[in-house]
Structure 1
């Protein structure tokens, strides 16, 4: 079910043999942390776990847990669900018109398709709080921009290929921007600093521009 490779003397990479098992990697991560000593860190990515070990770690026990773990036994519906408010108004969506043209959909169809889908956090990277969310409907799947934007506003809702994401801070970016969220997605003074963890389910909730402004003023 999983491939196991030694990266070096203190780390092991566990990767999926097939894509349907990847959604169970967060559950495997939790089991390893709960049952085994000597694990310094586990980094969960879209299709792998990187396990960083102390020299005292029991490698045989770790391998046994991985080999015996059955992804099909993971209880569905147990993921944390995060609702993210987002405004799809054109004034906050600089690439919406182009997305409509490329997808041959109206702005309302883009909004409805995007917010009706359910997404899973596959990885967190690029910048603190940037969650790669898989589950984008096929009608909205577009290649990244040929020329990335030099500046994308914080909170921008973006799509590219089979994923969607919200930029937690202002940054250059090559994804298509179709809206903006007023929600703060990274704060180094908060605990946790980011509302996401790998394996969480994310849903987008459409709000009006007036609600967007009120949310930003009151957060």
Structure 2
């Protein structure tokens, strides 16, 4: 396994898989993280206090007063170069309702035109896949997911929007995501989801987490309004859209 080690001062370093990307890269990172966590739990990596995962890299944070920096780097590097158990299953599967209609999908027609597909075909292609959750970043609760069908892979918009509504489902390059907050953004918006994705009062503030997976379920505008009202009134819990839980 080819890796690259990037030192970040005396208290952190990054292990990168430079030749991997997409789901394979994310699963490799996830597998390495599991190995490191096991080593920490069993006392073989004292001083390691945090691990930060990205799509094809992982950063290890340590206390230089406790940990031997060179030893930790060598130990983790050796783990990264061993055959990793890149599991095919998912820890969690979320089936999320999204509406691909009207003003909730402002870029859908353009995506269809550029892809050579009909609007209905774009919806079918996007909603039929199960997407790996690679990492949470950019905004609290913003889950980068993939990989999307090659026919829907386009670069980000040339002119980003200043305001993207919360819940907007976007696509860009090989990934798809849902904006958890209103924010600027340059992804192509093809649907909207009424489910909130982050709340600091939850036991796990981010609804989604790396290692899980998402499938989108098309709904009508009317269903979107009903679900949004039920979620706002707490008649439905966001966590109820988790359909499968286990180690996969």
The Cα offsets for residues 138-181 of structure 1, whole Å up to 9 and x where unpaired, read as 00011111111121110000011111110001111111110100
Which residue does 1:4 correspond to in 2? 5
Distance 1:65 1:105 in 2: 46
Q: What TM-score does the superposition give when structure 2 sets the normalisation length?
A: 0.82
Alignment of 1:152-191 (within 5 A): 152-191=164-203
Tell me the equivalent position of 2:67.
57
Unmatched tracts of structure 1, length 5 or more:
none
**Counterpart in the other structure of 1:92:** 104
Question: Which moves more between the two structures, 56-65 or 28-37?
Answer: 56-65
Hey, what's the Cα distance between the residues in 2 that align with 1:57 and 1:34? 16
> Distance in 1 between the 2:77 and 2:210 partners?
18
**Structure 1 Cα separation of the partners of residues 112 and 25 of structure 2:** 34
* 1:32–1:62 Cα contact (<8 Å) kept: no
RMSD, aligned CA = 1.8
Q: How many residues align?
A: 219
Indicate which of 105, 108, 113 corresponds to 1:101. 113
> Kindly tell me: are residues 96 and 176 of structure 1, through their superposed partners in 2, closer, same or farther at Cα, counting changes over 3 Å?
same
Match in the other structure for 1:45: 54
Aligned to 1:203: 215
Distance in 2 of aligned mates of 1:133 and 1:76: 15
**In 2, are the aligned partners of 1:150 and 1:171 still within 8 Å (CA)?**
yes
Alignment gaps of 5+ in structure 2: 41-45, 232-248
- Deviation of 1:71 after TM superposition, in Å, equals 4.5
Q: Is the 8 A contact 2:90 2:213 kept in 1?
A: no
Whether the aligned pair in 1 keeps the contact of 2:13 and 2:73 (CA below 8 Å) is no
In structure 2, what is the equivalent of residue 79 of structure 1?
Answer: 91
Tell me, yes or no, if structure 1 residue 13 matches structure 2 residue 22. Answer: no
Q: TM-score when scaled to structure 1?
A: 0.92
Question: How far does residue 91 in structure 1 lie from its aligned partner after superposition?
Answer: 2.7
Distance in 2 of aligned mates of 1:38 and 1:163: 35
CA distance in 2, matches of 1:43, 1:130: 15
